[in-house]
Structure 1
Amino acid sequence: MRWDTVLMVDWSGGADRGPRPKKDAIWGCVVSRAGAEPPVYLRSRPVAEAWLTTRIAAERAAGWRVLAGFDFPFGYPAGFAAALTGRADALAVWDWLEARIEEGPRTSNRFDVAAGINARFPGVGPFWGNGLRRDIAHLPRKGRARAGHGMEEWRAAERRARGAFSCWQLSGAGSVGSQALTGLPVLARLRRRFGAAAWPFEPVADADVALVEIWPSLLREAIAARRGADEILDAAQVRLMAAALARLKGERLAAMLGVSAPEEGWILGLGFEQELAAAVRAC
């Protein structure tokens, strides 16, 4: 399994971060047959989506296959997709969110969309973490306020990945819920535009563009050891993840992509941590 270009993205659910590179923002990095490029700071989600679209189009115009990784959950705990869309299909959730998530000049309507989803479920939840000053009906600020919504807290991947956060948490340090709500609509558009295959929901062996879920904290120790002294962590993560995946031989990457998780999704490299960490340390 040969990938000519590896493109890694550290996403953010937050507001436009301004022109100066910052931590906790969106960063991208590309390693291709032409060589490794420095990380790119992307100040907002619209800027990031435009960069992704332009970059993937250029790689495809060159006849190169692209493996693109994003650091947010591609799916939700089992049962959520069917409850929301009537289909036990994570990609149906992508399309559902794309039709409803809107990006304003500085932020999105993700909290209101999450509240609307909660209102469709019994009890209170599953989403929580209203990060706005105004109260939002059906969206509690604290996770302990939830009850009776019927969803599991974790996917199988999070139960295995030590330290991973629940996809239901929308705000607070380490949370990934807002990244997923704002990132999945972008992936839905990339999938449609480029005919991309979304792993592990679709086969990627013959895909020209494959979208995969990553979690750089899976390799936190190896990344810490190779991070530059003054390097922003997000930049280091995408730089080293891209370089490590580009170093792997085709059959080893194929083994990592051989996981079956048809509804919830999976983190690329989970179960192969030692091998992937060794590739990071070799960068």
Structure 2
Amino acid sequence: MSLFDKVIIVDWSGGNDRGASPKKDAIWACVAGEIPVYLRNRALAEDWIGTQIAACQGRVLIGFDFPFGYPEGFAEVVTGQADALALWTWFEARVEDSPKANNRFDLAGELNRHFAGVGPFWGNALAREIVDLPRKGRSRYGHGMREKRAAEAQAKGAFACWQMSGAGSVGGQTMMGLPVLARLRARFEAAAWPFEPWREARVVLAEVWPSLIAQSVVRQQVEGEIKDAAQVRVLAGKIAGLSDTVLAAMLDVTEPRALTEGWILGLGREADLDCRE
């Protein structure tokens, strides 16, 4: 029997409702072996994920494409605990989210006030100014945080979680995703990988990064298919197709900072993850 009976990959978004028509840079999800699903906002996505978990009697692995933690030291400054999961709880209590609006930029400014200097968060996509949130990354100074986690430092092309707007930014996705993870973890007693033991959990939440298999996505994307849809489809198939031995080795990550910052599933084992079709 495989380690997991169902593998789901979710391409997340920090933005507002994207409308009824499927489009890029929105939320896409895929159960391995099935057709990708377009989810126009986070509320619908959370409901869909919960339904998928509840419908499976076996074990479920769900990968989300945003950081599960921040550079070491951030959680302790904000929550008083050197525990990434304490941040999940912190965000779940403070994020205000609806299909048409959320408070991610204001919250980034509030978080910056925990630190000396200016930063670490930056990037304001709103017309109004936000206190303590600089629009440009070069405006930051003296905040004391490393720019990237150990995972981003190793993953070529990965962006820092401090960037809240602009091309490639993942800060908004992270901030609007962690509350959802906190609720899923509580509702289904899910294991938050790599912070918690995964072997006995029925549901495992894991961080993924589709760019690890970028060339396979290019080769397998069909004409007219939205790239986000192709990414979740191909990555779900890749992970579901791994042998138990290889997948277990990926989940048993040994990187020292993974337990405080999080990690990307398959990072450092790209050859195993992205084997040729």
Q: Please give the range of the TM-score, normalised by the shorter of the 2 chains.
A: over 0.9
1:156 aligns with 2:157: no
Cα shift at 1:119: 0.9
1:81 aligns with 2:68: no
Secondary structure of the 1:95 match is: helix
1:52 aligns with 2:46: no
Q: Hey, what's the Cα distance between the residues in 1 that align with 2:115 and 2:92?
A: 20
Q: Hey, what's the Cα distance between the residues in 1 that align with 2:85 and 2:253?
A: 17
Q: Which amino acid aligns with 1:3?
A: F
Aligned to 2:223: 229
Aligned to 1:202: 196
Q: Deviations over 1:42-93 (max 9, x none)?
A: 000111111111111111xxx2100000000001000001011011100000
Matched ranges for 1:72-221 at <5 A: 72-221=66-215
Q: Which amino acid aligns with 1:141?
A: R
Aligned to 1:264: 261
Secondary structure of the 1:112 match is: helix
Cα shift at 1:107: 2.3
Q: Hey, what's the Cα distance between the residues in 1 that align with 2:223 and 2:77?
A: 47
Aligned to 2:60: 66
Q: Hey, what's the Cα distance between the residues in 1 that align with 2:99 and 2:86?
A: 27
Q: Which amino acid aligns with 2:39?
A: L
Q: Which amino acid aligns with 2:162?
A: W
TM-score normalised per structure 1: 0.95
Aligned to 2:30: 29
Query: Which aligned segments of 4 or more residues in structure 1 are displaced greater than 4 angstroms?
Result: none
Q: Pairwise CA RMSD of aligned residues?
A: 0.9
Q: Hey, what's the Cα distance between the residues in 2 that align with 1:221 and 1:105?
A: 33
Aligned to 1:7: 8
Pick which of 136-145 and 220-229 moved more: 220-229
Q: Which amino acid aligns with 1:153?
A: E
Q: Hey, what's the Cα distance between the residues in 1 that align with 2:162 and 2:222?
A: 33
TM-score normalised per structure 2: 0.97
Cα shift at 1:180: 0.2
Q: Hey, what's the Cα distance between the residues in 1 that align with 2:101 and 2:63?
A: 23
Q: Which amino acid aligns with 1:217?
A: S
Q: Which amino acid aligns with 2:6?
A: T
Q: Hey, what's the Cα distance between the residues in 2 that align with 1:217 and 1:151?
A: 25
Query: Which ranges of structure 2 fall in alignment gaps of 5 or more residues?
Result: none
Q: Hey, what's the Cα distance between the residues in 2 that align with 1:248 and 1:74?
A: 23
Q: Percent identity?
A: 62
Cα shift at 1:105: 3.8
Q: Hey, what's the Cα distance between the residues in 2 that align with 1:85 and 1:179?
A: 20
Q: Hey, what's the Cα distance between the residues in 2 that align with 1:195 and 1:48?
A: 19
Query: Which ranges of structure 1 fall in alignment gaps of 5 or more residues?
Result: none
Whether the 8 Å CA contact 2:43–2:99 is kept in 1: the answer is no
